[in-house]
């Protein structure tokens, strides 16, 4: 089963994405802040990381840079999820090491497709159980 | 000095030079030449004398031979003759026989016809003797005498004896002697004739002399036979010649240099004697002097002639014409009258001088005429200028080299409150305001360099008031360009200056006010910018804060509508769809407001990079195609073949296209939407044409303003934020293009925008 780590402090947001993703057969792991996200990424070795930018303690850009330093995680796709939409947000995220960038609010109809693009080939979510 | 005198002096100098040359060089060469000439002459004359002398002696010989053949003389009988063998002066008595007397007579006749012969005589073998005249009765034997012995030794010839001393007189003679033979040829005695050396000398002197020089005759032995100095007779020549004697006796002819004289001599071929003549040195020197004198006289004469001719020629060809010219020029100088007759005849320099002089005089006449005209004009002009100067509104001030006043016009004197006379002679600096003294010094320095200048200057009025003038100064230079003074035009600008100062004061006040206002404005701008930054930050925060709840609303209503959480009834589906649509609209509104605020805050970054247009068009068409299909509208894409890459931001081009096409779909109920794309110059034009409701002309201009959805009559019939077109217009502008619209109400609209073609090399 494809494992996705979602680093997000807002419960509603996590619940929304988690609901959609698990309904489509993905396994979800949650971290509440950057520090926890780094620990879980090291421990769980997820197939993909969803990363909120506005995080307490350590923001999403710093978290992305740290994640890239972990040997087992350095090749893992990181998708930034942010409601920041000012000039340069996308560039800053890509610069920090993110693979993709999705603006909030998400579109529940197309979200899974947007994510799937970044997964390694053949790593399909599998049938829901 | 007159020309004639110069010529004379010149000739005199030449003459002196010639004389010096003649005096220095000629005597030596003349001496040699004269000596040669004289010696040649002398020898030739000596030959003549010798010829005469030889004849004389020859005749004497012939006559003596004649005597020896005389019948009376040839008498054989000795008894007829007187003998002196035993004669005594006391007892001797002459008693001539007739025969003897006949011989004596013959001898006397001979002597009479031969004046240089002193005695004719005969000696006989028996010791008797006969003479042409009586002799003292002394003891005498003719046979012992040298003449007898010589004749006896030379029978058949007539001999000439060496000089010998007579027995009875003091004479020294030479005898011409020959033997007397009888009929049988037996010698019976010797007959002879004596010539004394004194007579010989007389003869030679009579025959001729050379240049008045003394003659001398010398025999082979050197005995002097003839000389006017009788003391020399019968003496040896070595008395005179000393060590040159040998040379003299052995050479045939020549010249000997003696003390004070030359001796020129010649040897007689007939007689063997030497005939000589003494020529004193003085004779030759005299000759030389004569020659030189002659030459000098000639030279002098030639020079005198030459001088006279030259002076005459000069006088005629130069001096007279020059004098005439001089007279004419003197008359011109004295009277100033140029109407003079000038003779221009004559060739050469004088002729051309006269012609030039004439031409000059004519030129002068013309010049004077011209100058007179110019002077008239000048006078007229000066009068005019004076009037201008006097009535001029400008002050005129003229300074000399020492910067003292030489002229001011009335206007300038008035300006400073003086009379004109009061200012004359006063120094420039007396009238200059203290603070402008440096200015005027700089100006004067530049005048001295020959430069003009315009400047403002403060002058001091008589009443100590300051007068401001605009000065235009120029230097007065002489023909060599050296500074002779200065000329200045002065315009009184005191009022203007005062006005200027008032103006400047006003200006300063104004500037102060402007600065103050600027400061205020800057503060306001600062405040405004600060407010702007606040607005942007506010919008960003608002956007984020609004999105977070929207995320939940859109997300969960989506999940519910997808029935992921369980089945819904129709009414629930309808109502939940309304929630979802409203949330979507709210999100679009937020996005547009955010875009617009970003653009206006200059925060929107537009990429300018090349990309291929065709894929973008295809993608947009794919995206909007479902919307068109819902309304049964045909969606057409026409891309001209030349369209390739453009230089712009692909995401923004996409955004604009989406906006325009979705607008068209929104406002079109039937027909088609056509997207066309083509090159226009260096841009690509993309047009979206629809067959929709169109836009009224009065609304066209409002179209691109924010929040102005065109009034449709049906409130909110058409969804949209009203920000799409204004965002599109701004984006196109940012990418360097333009957006335009054409429309016909009720028929449809065409929105076109341009973006630059990619010009970078492939």
- Which element (helix H / strand E) includes B173? strand B172-181
Q: B690: which strand partners?
A: B673
For residues A31 and A55, give the distance between their C-alpha atoms in angstroms, rounded to a whole number: 11
* Residue A36 confidence (pLDDT): 93
Looking at beta carbons, which residues of chain B come within 8 Å of A25?
Answer: none
Q: Is the pLDDT of residue B717 over 70?
A: no
Q: What is the pLDDT at residue B178? A: 92
**Is the pLDDT at B735 greater than 50, yes or no?**
yes
Give yes or no for A118 touching B (CB within 8 A).
no
Average pLDDT over residues B15-23: 78
Span of A67-76, B28-37, B309-318 with lowest mean pLDDT: B28-37
Residue B153 exposure: Cα atoms within 13 Å on the Cβ side:
10
Looking at the whole model, is its pTM more than 0.80? no
> What residue spans define the domains of chain A?
3-116
pLDDT at B720 over 70: no
Give one DSSP letter per residue of A96-108, joined into a string. Answer: TT-SEEEESSP-T
The values of phi and psi at residue B258, to 5°, are: -110, -175
* pLDDT at position B297: 85
Percent of all residues in chain B with a pLDDT value above 90, rounded to a whole number: 20
Interchain CB contact of A23 with B (< 8 Å): yes
DSSP, residue by residue, B62-99: HHHHHHHT-TTTT---GGGS-B-TT--TTT------HH
Nearest Cβ partner for B551 among A16, A23, A88: A16
Burial B328-362 (b: 16+ CB within 10 A, else e): beeebeeeeeeeeebeeebeeebeebbeebbeebe
* Residues of chain B with C-beta less than 8 angstroms from the C-beta of A87: 598, 603-605
Given pLDDT bands bounded at 50, 70 and 90, which one contains residue B761? low
Helix (H, G, I), strand (E, B) or coil at B321: helix
Angle at B166 between CA B164 and CA B170, to 5 degrees: 110
DSSP state of B606: -
Using the predicted structure, report yes or no on whether residue B347 has a pLDDT greater than 70. Answer: no
Q: What residue in A sits closest to B538 (Cα-Cα)?
A: A86
Kindly determine whether residue A105 and residue B555, on different chains, have CB atoms separated by under 8 Å: yes
Instruction: Compute the nearest-CA separation of A84 from chain B (Å).
Output: 6
Tell me the count of A-B CB pairs closer than 8 A. Answer: 68
pLDDT at B719: 57
pLDDT at residue B373 greater than cutoff 60 = yes
The arrangement of strands across the sheet holding B739-744 comes to B634-639, B672-680, B683-690, B748-756, B739-744
Name the token pair of B686: 């993309």
Interchain contact, B562 vs A109, CB within 8 Å:
yes
Encoded tokens for B62: 């012939």
Q: Which residues of B touch A88 (CB under 8 A)?
A: 605
C-alpha dihedral sign at B4, B6, B8, B11: negative
Task: Summarize the confidence of residues B255-284 as an average pLDDT.
Answer: 86
Give A84's pLDDT tier (boundaries 50, 70, 90): low
Among all residues of chain B, which has the CA nearest to that of A107?
A: B555
The pLDDT score that the predictor gives to residue B93 is 80
Gap between the Cα atoms of B613 and B649, Å rounded: 11
Segment among B45-49, B338-342, B558-562, B587-591 with least mean pLDDT: B338-342
pLDDT at position B713: 43
CB-hemisphere CA count at 13 Å for B710? Answer: 18
Question: Does A123 score more than 60 pLDDT?
Answer: no
* pLDDT band for position B211 (cuts 50, 70, 90): low
Q: Which of B152, B164, B94, B166 is nearest to B123 (CA)?
A: B152
Q: Which chain B residues contact residue A95 at CB under 8 A?
A: none
As given in the structure block, the two tokens for residue B621 are 């068409």
Considering only A96-100, B79-83, B171-175, B184-188, which range has the smallest mean pLDDT?
B79-83
A94 contact B CB<8A: no
**pLDDT, tens digit (0-9, with 9 covering 90-100), for B63-111:** 888 888 888 888 878 777 888 888 888 888 888 888 888 888 888 888 8
Residue B375 has pLDDT above 80, yes or no: yes
Choose among B555, B564, B605: nearest Cβ to A87. Answer: B605
**Locate tokens 């010998």: which residue?**
B164
CA distance B178 to B150: 9
> What pLDDT does residue B116 have?
85
**Stretch among A54-63, B343-352, B489-498, B659-668 having the lowest mean pLDDT:** B343-352
Give the whole-number percent of chain B exceeding pLDDT 70: 96
Q: Which long-range contacts (CB under 8 A, 24 or more apart) does B218-223 make?
A: B218/B248, B218/B273, B218/B274, B218/B276, B219/B162, B219/B163, B219/B272, B219/B273, B219/B274, B220/B249, B220/B272, B220/B273, B221/B162, B222/B248, B222/B249, B223/B162, B223/B163
- The whole-angstrom separation of Cα B520 and Cα B279 is 146
ipTM: 0.74
Q: What are phi and psi of B187, to 5 degrees?
A: -75, 125
User: Which residues of A, range 62-91, sit inside 8 Å of B by Cβ?
Assistant: 83-88
On the question of pLDDT at B716 being above 70, the answer is: no
The verdict on B560 touching A (C-beta cutoff 8 Å) is no
Whole-number pLDDT of residue A128:
41
Q: Across the interface, do B562 and A54 touch by the CB < 8 Å criterion?
A: no
CA distances from B761 to B251, B504, B607, B675, B695 (A): 134, 59, 18, 28, 42
Between residues B707 and A94, the one the model is more confident about: A94
Shortest CA distance from A11: residue in chain B = B552
Task: Determine the distance in angstroms separating the CA of A107 from the nearest CA of chain B, rounded to an integer.
Answer: 6
| More confidently predicted of B602 and B384 | B384
Alpha-carbon gap, residue B102 to B73, rounded angstroms: 9
Q: Does domain A3-116 have CATH number 3.90.920.20?
A: no
Torsion angle defined by CA atoms of residues B29, B34, B40 and B45, in that order, rounded to the nearest 10 degrees: 180
Mutation target to probe the B interface, by most B beta carbons within 10 A, among A83, A91, A94, A107 is A83
* Nearest CA-CA distance, residue A72 and chain B, Å: 32
Q: Strand, coil or helix: what is B452?
A: coil
Which pLDDT tens digit goes with each residue over B430-479? 999 888 889 899 999 999 888 999 998 999 999 988 888 999 999 998 88
Any A CB within 8 A of B550 CB: yes
Percent of chain A with pLDDT over 90: 43
Q: Which residue in B731, B737, B730 sits closest to B755, CA to CA? A: B737
Mean pLDDT calculated for residue range B684-691: 94
Q: Which residue of B has its CA nearest to A52?
A: B548
For residues B616-635, average pLDDT: 91
User: pLDDT-derived band of residue B296, with 50, 70 and 90 as boundaries?
Assistant: confident
Q: Cis omega before residue A105 (within 30°)?
A: yes
Query: What integer pLDDT is reported at residue B708 of this predicted model?
Result: 56
Confidence at residue B714, expressed as pLDDT on a 0 to 100 scale? 39
Whether residue B209 is predicted with pLDDT greater than 70 in this model: the reply is no
Question: Which of B31-40, B230-239, B351-360 tops mean pLDDT?
Answer: B230-239
Chain A residue closest to B559 (CA)?
A108
pLDDT at B634 (0 to 100) = 92
Mean pLDDT of chain B: 85
Q: Which residues of A touch B540 (CB under 8 A)?
A: 84, 86
Q: Do the Cβ atoms of B163 and B136 come closer than 8 Å?
A: no
CB contact (8 A) between residue B548 and residue A23: no
DSSP string, B380-446: HHHHHHHHHHHH-SSEEEEEETTSBEEEE-HHHHHHHT--HHHHTT-BGGGGB-GGGHHHHHHHHHH
Q: Is the pLDDT of residue B342 over 80?
A: no
Whole-angstrom distance, CA of residue B385 vs CA of residue B282: 98
d(CA B26, CA B296): 11
Distance from CA of B561 to the nearest CA of A (A): 10
Residue B520 has pLDDT above 70, yes or no: yes
Facing residue for A105 by CB, picked from B536, B554, B559 = B554
Of B552, B594, B605, the CB nearest to A16: B552
Can you count the helices (H) and strands (E) in chain A? 5, 5
Chain A within 8 Å of B584 (Cβ-Cβ)?
no
Measured in angstroms, the CA of A83 and the nearest CA of chain B are apart by: 5
State pLDDT tens for residues A22-34. 988 899 999 999 9
């Amino acid at each position: 089963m494809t494992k996705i780590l979602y680093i997000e402090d807002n419960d509603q947001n996590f619940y929304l994405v988690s609901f959609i993703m698990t309904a489509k057969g993905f396994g979800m792991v949650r971290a509440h802040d950057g520090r926890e996200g780094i620990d879980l990424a090291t421990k769980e070795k997820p197939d993909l990381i969803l990363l909120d930018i506005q995080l307490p303690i350590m923001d999403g850009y710093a978290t992305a840079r740290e994640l890239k330093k972990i040997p087992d995680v350095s090749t893992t796709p990181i998708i930034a999820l942010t409601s920041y939409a000012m000039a340069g947000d996308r560039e800053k995220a890509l610069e920090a090491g993110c693979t993709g960038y999705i603006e909030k609010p998400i579109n529940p109809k197309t979200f899974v497709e947007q994510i799937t693009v970044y997964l390694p080939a053949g790593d399909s979510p599998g049938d829901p159980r | 000095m007159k020309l004639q005198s110069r010529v004379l002096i010149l000739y005199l100098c030449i003459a002196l030079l010639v004389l010096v040359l003649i005096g220095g060089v000629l005597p030596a060469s003349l001496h040699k030449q004269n000596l040669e000439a004289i010696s040649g002459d002398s020898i030739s004359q000596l030959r003549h004398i010798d010829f005469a002398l030889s004849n004389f002696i020859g005749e004497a010989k012939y006559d003596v031979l004649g005597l020896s053949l005389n019948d009376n003389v040839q008498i054989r009988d000795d008894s007829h003759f007187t003998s002196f063998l035993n004669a005594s002066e006391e007892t001797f008595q002459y008693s001539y026989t007739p025969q003897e007397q006949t011989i004596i007579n013959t001898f006397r006749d001979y002597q009479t016809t031969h004046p240089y012969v002193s005695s004719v005589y005969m000696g006989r073998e028996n010791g008797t003797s006969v003479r042409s005249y009586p002799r003292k009765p002394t003891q005498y034997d003719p046979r012992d005498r040298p003449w007898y012995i010589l004749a006896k030794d030379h029978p058949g010839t007539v001999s000439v004896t060496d000089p010998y001393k007579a027995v009875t007189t003091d004479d020294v003679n030479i005898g011409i002697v020959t033997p007397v033979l009888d009929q049988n040829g037996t010698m019976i005695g010797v007959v002879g004739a004596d010539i004394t050396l004194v007579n010989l000398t007389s003869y030679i002197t009579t025959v001729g002399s050379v240049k008045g020089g003394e003659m001398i005759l010398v025999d082979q032995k050197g005995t002097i036979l003839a000389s006017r100095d009788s003391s020399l007779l019968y003496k040896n020549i070595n008395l005179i010649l000393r060590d040159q004697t040998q040379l003299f006796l052995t050479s045939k002819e020549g010249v000997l240099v003696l003390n004070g004289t030359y001796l020129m001599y010649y040897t007689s071929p007939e007689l063997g004697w030497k005939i000589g003549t003494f020529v004193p040195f003085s004779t030759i020197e005299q000759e030389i002097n004569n020659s030189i004198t002659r030459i000098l006289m000639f030279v002098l004469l030639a020079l005198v002639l030459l001088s006279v001719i030259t002076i005459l020629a000069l006088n005629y060809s130069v001096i007279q014409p020059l004098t005439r010219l001089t007279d004419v020029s003197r008359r011109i100088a004295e009277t100033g009258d140029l109407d003079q007759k000038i003779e221009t005849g004559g060739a050469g320099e004088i002729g051309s001088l006269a012609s030039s002089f004439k031409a000059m005089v004519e030129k002068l006449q013309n010049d004077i005429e011209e100058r007179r005209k110019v002077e008239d004009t000048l006078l007229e002009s000066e009068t005019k200028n004076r009037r201008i100067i006097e009535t001029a509104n400008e002050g005129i001030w003229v300074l000399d080299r020492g910067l003292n006043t030489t002229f001011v016009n009335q206007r300038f004197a008035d300006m400073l409150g003086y009379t004109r006379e009061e200012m004359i002679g006063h120094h420039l600096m007396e009238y200059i305001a203290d603070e402008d003294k440096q200015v005027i010094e700089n100006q004067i320095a530049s005048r001295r360099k020959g430069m003009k200048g315009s400047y403002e200057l403060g002058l001091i009025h008589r009443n100590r008031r300051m007068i401001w003038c605009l000065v235009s100064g120029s230097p007065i230079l002489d023909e060599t360009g050296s500074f002779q003074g200065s000329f200045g035009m002065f315009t009184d600008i005191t009022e203007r200056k005062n006005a200027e100062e008032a103006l400047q004061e006003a200006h300063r006040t104004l500037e102060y006010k402007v600065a103050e206002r600027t400061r205020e404005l800057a503060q306001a701008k600062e405040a405004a910018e600060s407010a702007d930054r606040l607005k942007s930050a506010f919008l960003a925060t608002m956007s984020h804060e609004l999105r977070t709840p929207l995320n939940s609303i859109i997300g969960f209503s989506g999940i519910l509508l997808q029935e992921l959480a369980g089945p819904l009834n129709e009414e629930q589906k309808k109502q939940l769809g309304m929630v979802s649509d409203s949330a979507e609209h709210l999100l679009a509104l937020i996005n547009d407001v955010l875009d617009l605020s970003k653009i206006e805050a200059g925060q929107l970054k537009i990429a300018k990079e090349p990309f291929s247009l065709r894929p973008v068009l295809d993608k947009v068409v794919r995206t909007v195609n479902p919307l068109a299909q819902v309304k049964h509208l045909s969606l057409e894409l026409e891309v001209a073949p030349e369209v390739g890459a453009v230089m712009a931001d692909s995401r923004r081009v996409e955004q604009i296209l989406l906006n325009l096409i979705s607008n068209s779909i929104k406002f079109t109920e039937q027909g088609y939407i056509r997207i066309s794309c083509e090159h226009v110059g260096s841009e690509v034009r993309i047009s979206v044409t629809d067959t929709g409701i169109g836009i009224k002309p009065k609304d066209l201009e409002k179209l691109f303003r924010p929040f102005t959805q065109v009034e449709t009559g049906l409130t909110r019939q058409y969804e949209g934020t009203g920000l799409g077109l204004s965002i599109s217009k701004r984006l196109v502008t940012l990418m360097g293009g333009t957006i335009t619209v054409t429309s016909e109400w009720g028929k449809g609209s065409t929105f076109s925008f341009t973006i630059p073609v990619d010009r970078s090399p492939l």
